[in-house]
Amino acid sequence: MLILIQLLIAVGITAFLSLMLVVAEMLFANYGECEIDINKGEKKLKVKGGSSLLSSLAENNIFIPSACGGRGSCGFCKLKVVDGGGPLLPTEKPFLSPAEIKDNVRLSCQVKVKNDLRIQVPEELFAIKQFKARVKKIENYTYDIKGLTFELLEPDSIHFKAGQYMQLSTVKYGKVKQSVSRAYSISSNPNNPKDLQLIIRRVPDGICTTWVHDYLKENDEVKLTGPFGDFYIRDTDNDIVFIAGGSGKAPIKSMIENLYDAGCERKMTYFFGARAVKDLYLTDYLKSYEDKLKEFTYVPILSSPEKDDNWQGRTGFIMPHFGEFIKHPAQTEAYLCGSPGMINAVSKGLTDMGVPEDQIYYDSF
């Protein structure tokens, strides 16, 4: 018993001292001005020490991908920190492979700028911009999914590939005193570069989705950053299978509109999984592409239709329906958008039927 009490006291003292160190660092640490050397002297930034590398770069208009807004939970913000990054933190390890760790890859949101740094930034990231935009239209697609159209103000147009995503920044609202950024796939056609559309599903207690669903109004001004991501259609002759439910429809809609504009004649099937009729949206719109495209089929499948739904369509899980549509698995490419669990399960179903693993592309959220 005595040992247990001594142990608890020791743990308590350690926790207290750690807390004091964090507070002291927040209050008193002064790292002064630090230099960030990018790509062997290609750019040199002078920044005030103390912030994360991710936000220090963003303040200098260099935007690194981030889906979690710097909370250390998405693993998107990887950068090579050649020198000055300090020791690897436990929060970074789950997102880095042994090869990346050996190669000095770090999560830029977890690296604090405390001294001069030497880093490497891929050239394509310098093209990412921050846009000022006006909310042009908000549509209720379902009870928990909204479609938002933004008019880009400054810069007033964007160049992106269908399938890429943007980061939307919130403003202070209600009890939320800090701006956060979250990633959302673009649902509009790249051939309309002046307006940008996003599809956003409400996440219970989600800071950004609560703001979008309960506070954001038409004509409000917002900040968007991007485009990011390498989820886009590969230029081959393979058949295409799209699989995405909920707000995962956003990048697929953009891809289909863009493929239509390009006169694509590839065979395409879009499996859209939902629970019940109340979760379906843009159904007629996507069905209309069956007449426009040479070989396109839109296949909504409900897992739990409700009694009053009078649903005459397909039911159950998505995978048992694959065989009817995927006739040449080895010559098929799949584009999946959804949760990691859905992507793992569907990828396995596709590879089991013969779709090559390296022809399965996904956007996981």
Which stretches of the chain bind ligand FES, using CB under 6 A? 54, 66-68, 70, 72-77, 107, 109
Burial class (CB in 10 A: 0-12, 13-18, 19+), 276: middle
Q: Which residue shows structure tokens 């953009």?
A: 254
Instruction: Report in angstroms how near the CB of residue 68 gets to ligand FES at its nearest.
Output: 4
Minimal CB distance residue for ligand FES:
109
What whole-number distance in Å separates Cα of residue 205 and Cα of residue 22?
A: 27
Instruction: Report in angstroms how near the CB of residue 50 gets to ligand FES at its nearest.
Output: 17
For residue 277, what are the contacts with CB-CB under 8 A and spacing of at least 6? 302, 305, 306, 309, 311
What whole-number distance in Å separates Cα of residue 243 and Cα of residue 353?
A: 15
Buried residues in 123-148 as b, exposed as e (16+ CB within 10 A): eeeeebeebebebeebeebbebbbbb
- Which one, 72 or 349, has the nearer CB to ligand FES? 72
SS3 268: strand
Tokens matching residue 282? 């843009």
For residue 135, report the phi and psi dihedrals to the nearest 5 degrees: -75, 110
- Which one, 70 or 248, has the nearer CB to ligand FES? 70
Instruction: Report in angstroms how near the CB of residue 107 gets to ligand FES at its nearest.
Output: 5
SS3 185: strand
- Which one, 105 or 107, has the nearer CB to ligand FES? 107
- Which one, 54 or 119, has the nearer CB to ligand FES? 54
- Which one, 103 or 295, has the nearer CB to ligand FES? 103
- Which one, 76 or 296, has the nearer CB to ligand FES? 76
Q: Are strands 332-338 and 360-364 parallel, antiparallel or unpaired?
A: parallel
Tokens matching residue 251? 């990048």
Instruction: Report in angstroms how near the CB of residue 54 gets to ligand FES at its nearest.
Output: 6
Instruction: Report in angstroms how near the CB of residue 185 gets to ligand FES at its nearest.
Output: 16
- Which one, 78 or 249, has the nearer CB to ligand FES? 78
Strand residues in 170-217 grouped as ranges (E): 181-185, 195-201
SS3 28: helix
- Which one, 107 or 252, has the nearer CB to ligand FES? 107
